[in-house]
Amino acid sequence: MSISANEAAHRAASDVEQVVWVDRDDRVLGTKPRHELREQGLIGRGTFILLFNAAGELCVHQRTLSKALYPGFWDVAAGGMVGMNESYAESAARELAEELGVSGVPLIAHERFYFEGPQNHLWCGVFSAVWDGLLQVQPEEVQQALFMPVAEALRLSEEQDFCPDSLAALKRYLERKHETA
């Protein structure tokens, strides 16, 4: 599968987008182009929105091949980098609308945690929402999206490539939900 001209242009614009740069304690140091955070191993802020339907199924989507991180991987959360002058909640609402076409739903804030992988270092803000409407995916970022039982998503993550950062967010969410049940 090849990368479309629209995906390539979107990726180029995304790489130079100014995003929040933070330290190990999530204190803002300033902003930097997204590609500099990756290339220099710096820490940014990201959001993860776990989107469920009323039946409790989780929205899982496949990323486009043009994504800088985890191209073509499956993702259990909508989300992205927190932009300049943007809060975690504002970023979450923006990303959910951009990637999946979902807006006007209450976002429930859960926790923030630090994630470190070989290619990304993030302070992660985790949110959840419920949506039973149609999904309108952003074709430059999302190949396909569907709802499935959480257990099925977790099973598939053992067999296929899933984004490790959003998977960590989901597992933490499920652990906390289990602890309070």
Domains along the chain? 5-180 (3.90.79.10)
At residue 11, the pLDDT reads: 67
pTM of the model: 0.92
CB burial of residue 51 (10 Å; 0-12, 13-18, 19+): buried
Binding residues for Mg(2+): 95, 99
Binding residues: 95, 99
Sign of CA dihedral 103, 171, 173, 37: negative
At residue 126, the pLDDT reads: 98
Judged against a pLDDT cut of 70, whether residue 55 lies above it is answered with: yes
Name residues whose C-beta falls within 8 Å of residue 7's C-beta, 6 or more positions apart in sequence. Answer: 64, 65, 66, 139, 140
- Name which residue leads in pLDDT, 177 or 159: 159
Q: Which residue has the tokens 């776990």?
A: 50
Judged against a pLDDT cut of 90, whether residue 119 lies above it is answered with: no
What are 4-52's pLDDT values in tens digits?
Answer: 777 767 666 677 789 999 999 999 999 999 999 999 999 999 999 999 9
At residue 17, the pLDDT reads: 87
Q: Which residue has the tokens 């989300």?
A: 79
**What average pLDDT does range 98-126 have in this prediction?**
95
Split at pLDDT 50, 70, 90, the class of 1 is low
* Backbone phi, psi, residue 178, to 5°: -65, -40
**What average pLDDT does range 147-152 have in this prediction?**
98
Name residues whose C-beta falls within 8 Å of residue 152's C-beta, 6 or more positions apart in sequence. Answer: none
At residue 10, the pLDDT reads: 62
Please give the share of the chain, as a percent, with pLDDT higher than 90: 81
